[in-house]
Structure 1
Amino acid sequence: MANRVRRMIREEVGDGYFCILVDEAQDASKREQMAIILRFVNGQGILTGRYFDIKSVSDTTSSSLKDEIVNVLAQHELEVSKMRGQGYDGASNMQGAWNGLQALFLRDCPFAYYVHCFAHRLQLVLVYVAKEVDVIWEFFSHLDNIINIITSSPKRVTELQYAQRIEIEHMLAIGERESGSGANQVGNLQRLGATRWSSHYESIKSLIDMYNATCAVFENLSVHCPNGKSQGEVRGTYKQMKSFDFVFSLHLMHTIMRITYVLCQALQRKSQDILIAMRFISTTTKFLHKLRDDDWKEFLEEPDLESLYKVGPCRSRDPITMKHHYHFDVFNEAIDYVLMELNTRFNDTSVELLTLSAALDPRDSFASFSSHDICTLAEKFYPEDFPKEDIRTLEYELRHYELDMNTESRFQESTLVELCWQLTESKRSEIYVMVTRLIRLVLTLPISTATTERAFSAMKNVKTDLCNKMEDEFLADCMTLFIERELAQKIDIDSVIDEFYVSKPCRDQLQIK
């Protein structure tokens, strides 16, 4: 059945170009699994991403991974020479400039351009900011501690939900909340995820929504918690949670991450093109600049931090000095680090490939259109797909293309993904053959490895602990028969076992048998 699905995907790819997205993760049996995704534009001009295969790999060196991928592609007559993009995370075995997986493929196909997963870069921005800004590092440390103390005990979760109910009932009684279907739901604090930017935003948002209820639980715990280390930890954490530094950082990171959350969601869409991704990064940067330069007073007013500020840190300190500290040493510094890292890690606008690709963008009535840049893009980055005769044809096509595209508003209001489909649907792809070919090549460039993450999520639902146990027992029985047959030749059992890649429970069963 799996091979039948792969054959259908192979038919979808046809003679077109494709990109590979690859990532690794461990399954329930702690074996390393490599997911392979194909990204391509199908015959209808629709940008498509298909989960193609998942392979168990005992060795994650770049050469071993390449051999596995090439074997999978060869089995279905997918030529490496047709590859026009590679998408991985930032691991050294993947993105290494000399011996990484991307470098090995580039030796065989110099036009399979590598793009470091945008979603992974965004996560690295947060990691860097949390490490470099002391106040932010302390905030995330305290936030993690608060969430762990509450969520580690079912009794405390129940207390939190009870406190929420009381608060919601009170707010409804005084008219500060509106009732309605799905409104005023009780919930739980969200844990921080090590590899997901959005999980940090969800954790911060959940604590802001449940701040009063969480304080009520900690206040109760600080009184009734048994004496000793546990009581000291609860009281210390509660003190930090009530401090102005923590509340200030909580609302600051909520404001920053509310802006970047849109970018995070956009990068994980299945049919996203690289030009729109770069636009989202640009608009995110502009919003952050505005927050830093113009919105300090508005930031203080929104969660009523001004009143907390007056009764908090300034009671025993110079208010002018303290205001300067929170404005410039915390607020501005945190935003500056986020901006610096965004500009450093998303510097692809300086890469000529992406700069020239922007000339194909149909938005704003083809405002970025440039025949010279489009021809340079084809000639410099895709010489194998555009020989000199095709470049001349492209030049003449572009003259008609520019006039034609401006005659209909539907083309001017499209994204590059939509434009590709519209050209195919309107049969214009048969007229503008070279332009369509170039658009398909640009769309093939990957954005993120979110599709591989979805494959791993599905793998966890299929390869459960129970399935793994059944597999081990079945494999043990099969291998026992094999060993019994080989014992007649006096082969050492351990050496036979070592030839199989099996989990420890299976190995223990074999030793007993």
Structure 2
Amino acid sequence: MNENDRSMKKKVRISTLESFFHKKSKNQGGSSSSPIAPIRRDDESPPPNVVPPTRERVVQFDINSLPHDPGLRRRILDYHPSDHEAIRREYILKEPLQPYEHDFCQREVGGAMRRFNPEWFDTYKKWLEYSIAKDAAFCFVCYLFKDNVDVLNAASQGHDAFTNNGFRGWNRPSAFLKHVGQVNSVHNKCLEKYEATIDPNTCIQNVIDPKTPQARKEYRIRLTASLHCLRFLLFQGLAIRGHDESEKSSNQGNFRELLKWFSQRKKKVGKTLFKNAPGNNQMTSPLIQKDLINACSRETIKGIIEELGDDYFGILADESRDVSCKEQMAFCLRYVTKGGVVVERFIGVVHVMNTTAMTLKNAIYSILAEYSLSPSRIRGQGYDGASNMKGYIHGLKTLIKNESQSAYYIHCFAHQLQLTLVAVSKKNSDCGWLFDILSIILNVVSGSCKRQEIMKEAQAKILAKAFENEELKTGKGLNQELGLGRPGDTRWGSHYKLLVNVILLYPSIREVLDIIFDDPLHFDDHPKADHVGFAIESFDFMFMVHMMKTIFGLANQLNIALQKKDQDIVNAISLVKQTKERLQQMREDGWESLLNLVTCFCDKNKIGVPKMEDEYLPRGKKKRNKVYTTNLHHFRVEVFFAIIDLQTQELNNRFDEVSMELLSCMTCLNPVDNFSSFDKLKLLRLVEFYPNDFTSVESSYLEDELDTFIYDMRRDDRFHGLKDMGELSVKLFETKKHESYRLVYLLIKLVLILPVATVTVERAFSVMSIVKNRLRNSIGDQFLNDCLVTYIEKNVFLKINDENILNRFQSMRSRRERM
């Protein structure tokens, strides 16, 4: 037997017949005094309202207790030869039993009648087993340990009959006593070994090296101290181990240094650690650290799964490359808690070899299977919109929807908004020119640390002068140091932030460009500085910066709202509509205010403002075939109207889900303005999208329930002023009305489960860059996953008590000590 087999601890659950026969019930026919009464045959159907009784006995075997017996494990697994895998996986083996109702019962087998006494199974319940298939009784303990005792004269005690062929002499109950025998009989020796096997305190290691209560107490103190230190490091996302953990090292790593600091301030803990602890039981090794962290992660996931229960959920997934060039897929769940709150929980990351739809699907299903989550409970999918995710034929969302009909896919709203902004900046020539100039400014002004310091000094001088002239107010959080951030196609809100900072830092940028142009040591940058300086001092540049800042500002409010974890799909649709309406309002009424804003800024910074009725002179040298137009027509029609129309068109194209019938029906449950958008017919149509969740009878009940629901909601002051579906769900739970309107509440949950954005997944990747950084690029996949779960889901991890973690740690493998 190898070491792995020696350290195996199996729980074998075996069905017994302690309740196989029951005394006659008063409600059943027949006489209780009759020793023989007819009973039902096996092939007959059971009587109504009678549940076949079962009883299970949990027997825990420690193979280490008998290391010299290589056949014990084989015999345990062979006890149920048709169910080896079931025992290995610790499934409960149950056999339905017949509800016999007499003091003495009979069973017809092969034309003969067998008489049984149920007291036999009460008296010998520790070892007596009955096989329905063989119609025989067996001795379980003798079957397991018959080779470990002296079997001399075993046949005379009925040893073979109770282990090999089975006992069938029901008319000779004295055979049970004969098999048990005297104190030193074979059966009693086997029973003694059986009881020693299932008792963890009789493990051979504990017998050879018995531990005193004081040793166990010190072991628990050491283990708890290590756990507390690891908890702190996991909360902060810090590295656990150090480069050199030897005793001579001045820095032994975060874990050991924190443990030393902890032991110095807790004398009770310090007396059990390091030199005061046994050399083979320090509880500080890397293996112990990983086991404790894995126990923390498992208990955190267990808390999330218990919070979800057997309810419906949505899935969010995305793939990204980590610092070691491994393709990782992050996976999250979105569901409604028992309190009516919609949450998104991070479950873990999985290393995938490629990003094909089938590979991602297998990875998702493996996670669901690991935590006993059924794919049939999926009611929503949220991805970033890549082709392998949203493909209509072989995409991930199609593969999952084929197996779960109601798993509807929502393209991440935040990604769609970012794609809209990028498309506007690329499709319009004036926007393209603006961001080209901004890119050159970033390269010239922020190209070196020296130039960044020059800009900071220039900014400080301008602020000091503004304070002297009382143009700015001082206070906490005001007048913070700013910098130019480079915009990115995948960085949400980066375009808006750059435009805001360019306007605020405009004087400082001009001063830095002048310094660069006058510096003879940087003559290579003189043409760039001259080109940029000429561009930013033009009215065209200032008009484009202010206009795009205003337009992107409207979209940025939507962007911030979409990044909330508890955002629901109905409110997101409403926000998209509001953004479109505000853009249209800006097109109709925003021209004058924008022109006045740009004119004031230009006058303040001494930039020439052209007259709107004069002829427009285009930028560059292409003036030969130019069409005559005025400045007013160019800036208002060709720029202002054109860009707003392009923005609106892109919003309509990108957010095509808003026009989906499914989502349009969902908006009818919006509680805003006292349920003004309520539409009973659309809600009944919504039920048709979830055929597996509403039966035909429930659908008919729902029609009447909706009438009562809307009547109650509009007259209950507690439901006035609700802003979104999330608040409605919580309020229904608080007022206990989710029980009265069960079907309506189910509809609300299905609406809330649909994901809005993949914000939680994106944040997981940000955390992954913190946990697995350049110095920790060799961290293992399981260790990385455990660190991410505990770091991201801190709120759940904080609720897990130490006792549960320590118990899981103890059960993970065989330990030298037991608490």
1:429/1:392 CA distance change after superposition, 3 Å:
same
Question: What residue in structure 1 maps to residue 798 of structure 2?
Answer: none
Question: What residue in structure 2 maps to residue 347 of structure 1?
Answer: 656
Distance 1:122 1:305 in 2: 31
Contact 1:13 / 1:42 at 8 angstroms: preserved in 2?
yes
Identity of aligned residues (%): 38
Question: What residue in structure 1 maps to residue 720 of structure 2?
Answer: 412
Distance 1:59 1:7 in 2: 29
1:227/1:467 CA distance change after superposition, 3 Å:
closer
Query: What does residue range 126-205 of structure 1 map to in structure 2 within 5 Å?
Result: 126-205=421-500
Distance 2:484 2:748 in 1: 45
TM-score, with normalisation over the residues of structure 1? Answer: 0.88
1:433/1:248 CA distance change after superposition, 3 Å:
same
Secondary structure of the residue aligned to 1:302 is: helix
Question: What residue in structure 1 maps to residue 516 of structure 2?
Answer: 221
TM-score, with normalisation over the residues of structure 2? Answer: 0.56
Question: What residue in structure 1 maps to residue 761 of structure 2?
Answer: 452
Question: What residue in structure 2 maps to residue 432 of structure 1?
Answer: 741
- Give yes or no for the alignment of 1:328 onto 2:637: yes
Look up the equivalent residue of 2:767 and give its one-letter code.
A
Distance 1:443 1:469 in 2: 39
Distance 2:672 2:520 in 1: 61
Deviations 1:406-457 (A, max 9, x none): 1222313212111111111211111111000110001000100011011111
Contact 1:159 / 1:217 at 8 angstroms: preserved in 2?
yes
Contact 1:401 / 1:432 at 8 angstroms: preserved in 2?
yes
Query: What does residue range 264-283 of structure 1 map to in structure 2 within 5 Å?
Result: 264-283=559-578
1:164/1:11 CA distance change after superposition, 3 Å:
same
Distance 2:719 2:636 in 1: 46
1:303/1:313 CA distance change after superposition, 3 Å:
closer
The alpha-carbon deviation at position 227 of structure 1 amounts to 5.8
- Give yes or no for the alignment of 1:22 onto 2:329: no
1:466 to 759, 766, 775: 775
1:456/1:422 CA distance change after superposition, 3 Å:
same
Distance 2:778 2:366 in 1: 29
Distance 1:452 1:42 in 2: 20
Question: What residue in structure 2 maps to residue 210 of structure 1?
Answer: 505
Structure 1: runs of 5 or more not aligned: 475-513
1:225/1:54 CA distance change after superposition, 3 Å:
farther
The alpha-carbon deviation at position 226 of structure 1 amounts to 3.5
Distance 2:378 2:520 in 1: 61
The alpha-carbon deviation at position 187 of structure 1 amounts to 2.1
Secondary structure of the residue aligned to 1:219 is: helix
1:307/1:70 CA distance change after superposition, 3 Å:
closer
Look up the equivalent residue of 2:593 and give its one-letter code.
E
Look up the equivalent residue of 1:102 and give its one-letter code.
K
The alpha-carbon deviation at position 182 of structure 1 amounts to 2.5
Contact 2:568 / 2:756 at 8 angstroms: preserved in 1?
yes
The alpha-carbon deviation at position 146 of structure 1 amounts to 0.7
Structure 2: runs of 5 or more not aligned: 1-295, 617-628, 784-819
Question: How many pairs were matched up?
Answer: 472
1:112/1:153 CA distance change after superposition, 3 Å:
same
The alpha-carbon deviation at position 327 of structure 1 amounts to 0.8
1:200/1:384 CA distance change after superposition, 3 Å:
same
Secondary structure of the residue aligned to 2:704 is: helix
Distance 2:612 2:383 in 1: 52
Distance 1:469 1:381 in 2: 47
Look up the equivalent residue of 2:304 and give its one-letter code.
I
Distance 2:612 2:643 in 1: 25
Deviations 1:198-241 (A, max 9, x none): 11111111111100111100011111154654221222122222
Question: What residue in structure 2 maps to residue 303 of structure 1?
Answer: 598
Secondary structure of the residue aligned to 2:461 is: helix
Look up the equivalent residue of 2:711 and give its one-letter code.
L
Distance 2:545 2:607 in 1: 18
1:126/1:286 CA distance change after superposition, 3 Å:
same
- Give yes or no for the alignment of 1:391 onto 2:678: no
Distance 2:585 2:670 in 1: 26
Contact 1:366 / 1:412 at 8 angstroms: preserved in 2?
no
- Structure number with higher relative contact order (C-alpha < 8 Å, ≥ 6 residues apart): 1
Question: What residue in structure 2 maps to residue 402 of structure 1?
Answer: 710
Deviations 1:55-112 (A, max 9, x none): 1111110000000100100111111100000000111000111111001001111110
The alpha-carbon deviation at position 52 of structure 1 amounts to 0.6
RMSD between aligned residues: 2.0
The alpha-carbon deviation at position 348 of structure 1 amounts to 2.4
The alpha-carbon deviation at position 316 of structure 1 amounts to 12
The alpha-carbon deviation at position 268 of structure 1 amounts to 0.5
Deviations 1:240-295 (A, max 9, x none): 22222221111111111111111000011010011111111111111111111111
